[in-house]
């Protein structure tokens, strides 16, 4: 044991450090996405099984090894066997690349934070065109949020062959993100031990605020019903189990060497078994809690899209068949469609291609992938001849952001 190695001031600092490390985009972003893809609440069954089978044991192993060896990942694996030193080096390299792209996300967070002080928000509505006669065509065909992301935040180039110039504002946000990280780890556990109180507790405060707000949204209950209605047939899908196992690794941060480093600042007689169970349970509970918030938003968006679709169909049928204004309603729409099809078969056949099939279930199934459709419209306004290549860039980038290729 390296007696000169600093220690955490107390057990709470260590637990908060592990929670700050484990709880992140994997809980708030990737887990709800996988729930939606694999049967809603049914995904919890393989997820919890994998948590018990692989998550807790491997987490306990990493904490125990780091605590006994009192060294980082490279030193720990080298002490176990010199032949395993490469495992430690590989984990450091992976952690380096992880830090590189995670800090880019932190830079984006600062970018949106600074822009959020504007009124109205820049992503709330489409900007005017150069002539100030109308809104930007790209933005109208997509959405204001998509336009702000691709045109203002990323300022994405027309094709992969054109890298574009440095976006200095985003570069400044990235430098700020790295500066904050540097200040947090400048004095080791002396500073980090204090910072983790904020980084561990603040996300839960934000999630609670979000929860209170989203539960008041129209249609939020539809999303929650969708989440907690399990589709048990997904349990026969091997990919469901593979994604559940992957999510455990991704969410707990196993194999990156960071947990070994955190545990190396503990006393050798620390009860790491109890801490492994506590951290695993808090991490999984956070995923479920964040999913409640996320699926409430899904329900709101899906309900809005569904009701908008219904209203468009009602307006179309009212105008085409010259019906009274309040004759068609959501409740009698299907019966009226059958009536119109039988009374005016020829006219109904002409208008049938314009009648959309409105389904709340379909909206809930696809609500987490809105960018596919909005970008498809956005692509139509691009004048670059390499539209298809750029479209693929967008799709691959979005899959990466959603975690499907992680």
- Token output for 158: 């027309």
Flag whether pLDDT at 372 surpasses 60. no
Average pLDDT over residues 253-264: 89
- Report residue 339 CA to chain centroid gap: 45
Report how far residue 145's alpha carbon sits from residue 156's, in angstroms, rounded to the nearest whole number: 15
304-332 residue pLDDT tens: 888 888 888 888 888 888 778 778 887 88
Confidence of residue 367 (pLDDT cuts 50, 70, 90): confident
321-366 residue pLDDT tens: 877 877 888 788 888 888 888 888 888 788 888 887 888 888 887 7
Name, in order, each residue with C-beta under 8 angstroms of 251's C-beta and a sequence gap of 6 or more. 22, 26, 27, 30, 31, 283, 284, 287
Flag whether pLDDT at 110 surpasses 90. yes
Span of 5-14, 368-377, 381-390 with lowest mean pLDDT: 381-390
Flag whether pLDDT at 264 surpasses 80. yes
Report how far residue 126's alpha carbon sits from residue 332's, in angstroms, rounded to the nearest whole number: 36
Query: Which segments are annotated as binding site for Na(+)?
Result: 22-23, 27, 251, 283
114-167 residue pLDDT tens: 999 988 888 888 888 877 778 888 887 778 888 888 888 888 887 778 877 888
Concatenating the DSSP letter of every residue in 111-135 gives: HHHHHTTSSS-TTSSPPB-TTSSSB
Output the pLDDT for position 93: 92
**For the chain, what is the largest distance between any 2 Cα atoms, rounded to a whole number of angstroms?**
90
- Token output for 40: 């809603």
Q: Which helix (H) or strand (E) holds 281?
A: helix 272-320
Output the pLDDT for position 380: 40
Output the pLDDT for position 155: 84
Average pLDDT over residues 15-38: 86
Output the pLDDT for position 322: 79
Q: Which helix (H) or strand (E) holds 313?
A: helix 272-320
- Could you tell me the pTM of the whole model? 0.77
- Token output for 244: 């559940």
Flag whether pLDDT at 52 surpasses 90. yes
The span from the first CA to the last CA of the chain, in angstroms, equals 36
How long is the chain? Answer: 406
Query: Which segments are annotated as binding site?
Result: 22-23, 27, 251, 283
Average pLDDT over residues 210-227: 91
Average pLDDT over residues 24-29: 81
Specify the higher pLDDT residue, 29 or 62. 62
Flag whether pLDDT at 383 surpasses 70. no
Average pLDDT over residues 369-396: 41
Output the pLDDT for position 51: 93
113-125 residue pLDDT tens: 999 998 888 888 8
Confidence of residue 180 (pLDDT cuts 50, 70, 90): very high
Output the pLDDT for position 368: 65
Q: How many CB atoms are closer than 10 A to CB 36?
A: 23
Span of 51-55, 249-253, 388-392 with lowest mean pLDDT: 388-392
Flag whether pLDDT at 1 surpasses 60. no
Q: Which helix (H) or strand (E) holds 364?
A: helix 360-366
Average pLDDT over residues 370-395: 40
Confidence of residue 373 (pLDDT cuts 50, 70, 90): very low
Output the pLDDT for position 275: 92
């Amino acid at each position: 044991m390296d007696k000169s190695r600093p220690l955490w001031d107390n057990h709470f600092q260590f637990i908060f450090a592990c929670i700050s490390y484990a709880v992140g985009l994997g809980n708030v972003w990737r887990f709800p996405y996988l729930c939606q893809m694999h049967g809603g609440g049914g995904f919890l069954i393989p997820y919890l099984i994998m948590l018990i089978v692989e998550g807790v044991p491997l987490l306990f192993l990493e904490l125990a090894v780091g605590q006994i060896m009192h060294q980082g990942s490279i030193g720990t694996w080298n002490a176990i066997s010199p032949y395993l030193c490469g495992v430690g080096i590989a984990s450091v390299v992976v952690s380096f690349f992880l830090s590189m792209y995670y800090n880019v996300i932190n830079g984006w967070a600062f970018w949106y934070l600074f822009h959020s002080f504007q009124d109205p928000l820049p992503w709330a509505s489409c900007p005017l065109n150069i002539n100030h006669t109308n809104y930007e065509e790209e933005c109208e065909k997509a959405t204001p949020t998509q336009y702000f992301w691709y045109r203002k935040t990323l300022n994405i180039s027309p094709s992969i062959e054109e890298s574009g110039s440095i976006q200095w504002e985003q570069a400044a946000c990235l430098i700020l993100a790295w500066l904050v990280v540097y200040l947090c780890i400048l004095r080791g556990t002396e500073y980090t031990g204090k910072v983790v109180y904020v980084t561990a507790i603040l996300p839960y405060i934000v999630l609670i605020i979000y929860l209170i707000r989203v539960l008041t949204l129209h249609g939020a209950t539809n999303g929650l019903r969708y989440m907690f209605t399990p589709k048990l047939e997904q349990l026969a899908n091997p990919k469901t189990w593979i994604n559940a196992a992957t999510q455990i690794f991704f969410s707990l941060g196993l194999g990156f060497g960071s947990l070994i480093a955190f545990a190396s600042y503990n006393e050798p007689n620390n009860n790491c078994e109890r801490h492994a169970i506590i951290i695993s349970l808090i991490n999984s509970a956070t995923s479920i809690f964040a999913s409640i918030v996320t699926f409430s938003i899904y329900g709101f968006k899906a309900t809005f899209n569904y009701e908008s679709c219904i209203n468009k169909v009602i307006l179309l049928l009212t105008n085409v068949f010259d019906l009274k204004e309040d004759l068609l309603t959501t409740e009698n729409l299907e019966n009226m469609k059958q009536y119109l099809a039988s009374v005016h078969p020829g006219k109904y056949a002409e208008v049938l291609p314009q009648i959309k099939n409105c389904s709340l279930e379909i909206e809930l199934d696809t609500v987490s992938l809105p960018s596919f459709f909005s970008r498809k419209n956005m692509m139509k306004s691009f004048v670059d001849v390499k539209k298809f290549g750029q479209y693929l860039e967008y799709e691959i980038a979005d899959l990466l952001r959603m975690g499907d290729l992680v």
